[in-house]
Chain A
Amino acid sequence: MPGLKLEVIPTTHKLPLAKPVKGAVGKTGSWRWRKPVVDNSKCRRCFLCEIYCPDNCILVDPDKGVSIDYDYCKGCGVCASVCPVEAITMVREGGGNG
């Protein structure tokens, strides 16, 4: 920042701040009623699903393709919506029609 020096001096008061950690509220994958299932043979490694996942549950490996952390995936379906080649489909948990 031009013009001024910045000094960060802590306060003795409690601040409404948090640091992001994995699983702060438990394994949120149990909230899911439908699950994303990947067909890696269709995946073109465009990384859109990884970028869009609101819970940071998707990793795309250039060699192996998409992997999903089902411990925390809440099944929102954003990945399936943004996938340009329909490599991800949402499947109802426990069988039946999603």
Chain B
Amino acid sequence: MAKTVLTGNYTVALAAKMARVQVVAAYPITPQTSIVEKLAEYIDKGELDAEMIRVESEHSALAATFGAAIAGARAFTATSSHGLLYMHEWVHWTSHARIPVVMAIVTRTIAAPWNIWSDHTDFLGQRDTGWIMSFPMDNQELFDLVIQAFKISEDPRVYLPAMVGLDAFILSHTAMPVDVPDQKLVDEWLGPRRQPYVIDGREPLILGSLAWPEDTEEFFMGIQEAMMEAKKVIREVDESYGKVFGRSYGGLVECYRCSDAKYHAVAMGAWSGDLMDAIDMLRDDGYSVGLIRIRYIRPFPDKEVYEAITGSHGVIVFDRAISFGSLGPIYLDIAGNMLKYTRKLPYMRNIIAGIGGVNVTHKDFYKLVKETIDSLEQGSEPPVYTWYHRR
């Protein structure tokens, strides 16, 4: 193992290289571009034995990645925001075809107005596509999640593509220390490329021809089954990665000072680090509060969240995205999924913040969590929905 300092984008590129991707299809978009630039550099220097396909759009980028993967290659691409929207059709094709692929999404606000900063609307807009979706807090976890994405995606119990999100600039362009494992260990742990079938011209196969409604429904039921199975696979992968590489995060969620807590905050992404600082400050001030950090949003960690919030006196869910006309996507997922387990839900507040890249600091989190707890302790419930905005 060697400790090095890497930006989020270079972390992704290095992880893809160490997973020995064989095909990279790329189209530039801020803030993703330096991922595929770095991969191009690796290929140019002969450090990575892969084919770089330069395409004319993101729609083609994922189509080419998909085609290469179907033919038997470990394939990779990366995009952001409008690029992701443009390839949305292929996002569905890839999962419906049950073809393992890994893609990094550097989350960026969707226009209009033009904006390059992070919110999670682009990423969470893909939640219904049948991809495994993970989201790290820092560059070390990002490295680990990208390597693990290949393992999970190519597991025969899963066979679904996987996307790893990372916050624009907060991670993508910020350099942090990253422990880089030995290539030999990664090779041994990841193993060979695995997929359910190959279309390479040797045997004629048709993908995506007309199917009756009943057959179509059964294909989709298979995706749902694979998603449920993926929860087990993700936990296994997190554990076995921990044994080999020394880092394990607890599976689909990370529980930070949450097991003995009376109140719980929930968040996903880079800002969880700021929220952790706020939790520490609140703990110092005598508040019994912890953080449930969502690492995987698909499959959704229903059981983990249920167990963590059972007996909670109040839950505050921070969403960096909004379903206009409704609530934040993470909040909606939690509220719906808890009903699988209980009819008695704790008070759950949804705070929308950080939209359009608005900076949210540990001070904001401290204030919001404190005012919620203070209010609940005095017997009054703050409104369930709040859009927190400041300049």
B96 in the interface, Cβ–Cβ < 8 Å? yes
| Mask: chain B, 206-226; 1 = CB below 8 Å from A; 0 = not | 111101000110110011011
CB pair B72–A6 under 8 Å, yes or no, is yes
A85 in the interface, Cβ–Cβ < 8 Å? no
B53 in the interface, Cβ–Cβ < 8 Å? no
CB pair A15–B98 under 8 Å, yes or no, is yes
Query: Contacts of B97 on A, CB cut-off 8 Å?
Result: 15-16
Partner of A4, one of B22, B196, B204, B209: B22
CB pair B193–A4 under 8 Å, yes or no, is yes
Partner of B194, one of A7, A16, A17, A18: A7
CB pair A5–B196 under 8 Å, yes or no, is no
Chain B, residue nearest A9 (CB) = B156
Query: Contacts of A14 on B, CB cut-off 8 Å?
Result: 215, 218-219, 222
Q: Chain B: interface secondary structure?
A: loop
Query: Contacts of A2 on B, CB cut-off 8 Å?
Result: 22, 49
Chain A, residue nearest B71 (CB) = A1
B66 in the interface, Cβ–Cβ < 8 Å? no
Q: Tell me the residues in window 1-25 of chain A with beta carbons closer than 8 Å to chain B beta carbons.
A: 1-11, 13-20
- CB of A33, distance to nearest CB on chain B (Å): 23
B347 in the interface, Cβ–Cβ < 8 Å? no
B2 in the interface, Cβ–Cβ < 8 Å? no
CB pair A13–B222 under 8 Å, yes or no, is yes
8 A-B pairs besides A8-B198, A14-B219 with CB distance below 8 A are A4-B74, A10-B156, A11-B98, A11-B156, A11-B196, A13-B226, A16-B208, A16-B216
17 contacts across the A-B interface (CB closer than 8 A): A1-B22, A3-B49, A4-B20, A7-B193, A8-B194, A9-B195, A10-B196, A13-B98, A13-B219, A15-B197, A15-B219, A16-B207, A16-B208, A16-B211, A18-B205, A18-B206, A20-B206
Footprint of A on B, CB under 8 Å? 20, 22, 49-50, 72-74, 96-98, 156, 159, 192-198, 204-209, 211, 215-216, 218-219, 222-223, 225-226
